[in-house]
Amino acid sequence: MEPTMERLQKVIARAGVTSRRKAEVLITEGKVTVNGEVVTALGTKVSDKDRVEVNGVPIAQEEFVYYALHKPRGVLSTVSDDRGRDTVIDLMPKMAERIYPVGRLDYDTSGILLLTNDGDFSYVLTHPKYEVEKTYVAKVENIPSRETLKKLARGVVLEDGKTAPAKTKLVSVNRKMQTAIVEITIHEGKNRQVRRMFDAVGHPVQKLRRERFGMIEARGLNAGEFRPLTIHEVKQLRVLAETGNLK
């Protein structure tokens, strides 16, 4: 029987070394070898019989782990910080696996964040073409009109391009304080996108929380708390990313 051949970047990501996109960068930079030979072509395929090394270190398959964390405000969505600030990894117990966040949440944004060592899983959940929905609840200045909400839903022009269509809902208003709570669902991941979208329509965000990532909710987890995803949830997220629907 012929061994199964897979793209090199996918094999590196599945080994928990890094994400698939970063694996592609490592390959093109000449930092990956296959059976002792430097490989720079992204279309290269390998099998489990091939010896793959990244920066001179052989890749080893870790057991995949998946977590949902309710990230508090004032915590970085990175593995480490050279300025000594708290990161989401500091909130997790020490473990053998090298986990990292799936995408990012802004420093001042709280809510649901996934962490894993499965680079391929991270790739399909964060790549724009898979359109996995993320729902946020924002407390904004002033009370947006129905037309403003429609404008957000249609997409607004930011300095890095127009945003894709979104879903918006006015949850509540405080006329005395002239603030409103707005729910917005997007499937992109531009830097500080939700805050910039509200800035663009004249309603700066005072507080922002991500309520859902796919079907995974922050509800049930206090800020700073985490839980492992179930096998069923992991499968559901993959199906959602690849088909756009839960089955």
Distance spanning both ends of the chain, measured CA to CA: 33
Say whether 211 sits in a helix, a strand or coil.
strand
Q: Residues with Cβ < 8 Å from 241, sequence gap 6 or more?
A: 124, 125, 130, 132, 214
Return the half-sphere exposure (C-beta side, CA atoms, 13 A cut-off) of residue 24: 8
Which architecture, in CATH terms, is 133-213?
2-Layer Sandwich (3.30)
In CATH, the number for domain 6-58 is 3.10.290.10
Query: Is 199 one of the annotated active-site residues of the chain?
Result: no
Helix (H, G, I), strand (E, B) or coil at 6: strand
110-116 and 205-213 strand pairing: parallel
Phi-psi region of 84 (alpha: psi -120 to 50; beta: other; left: phi over 0): left
- Which residues 6+ apart lie within 8 Å of 49 measured at CB? 3
Of the residues 50, 106, 108, 118, only one is catalytic, namely 106
Q: 66-128+218-243 with 133-213: one CATH topology?
A: yes
Strands 179-186 and 167-174: antiparallel
How is 132-165 classified by DSSP, letter by letter? --EEEEEEEES---HHHHHHHHH--EETTEEPPP
Ordered by start, the domain boundaries in the chain are 6-58, 66-128+218-243, 133-213
Q: How do the pLDDT tens digits run along the chain, 247 residues long?
A: 566 788 898 888 877 788 888 899 999 999 999 999 999 998 899 987 888 999 988 887 667 899 999 999 999 999 888 898 999 999 999 887 889 999 999 999 999 999 998 888 888 898 778 889 999 999 999 999 999 999 999 999 999 899 999 999 999 999 999 999 999 999 988 889 999 999 999 999 999 999 999 999 998 999 999 999 999 999 999 888 877 665 5
Burial class from Cβ neighbours inside 10 Å (0-12, 13-18, 19+) for residue 13 reads: buried
What is the pTM (predicted TM-score) of this model? 0.77
Residues 6 or more apart whose Cβ sits within 8 Å of residue 93: none
Q: What is the architecture, at CATH level 2, of domain 66-128+218-243? A: 2-Layer Sandwich (3.30)
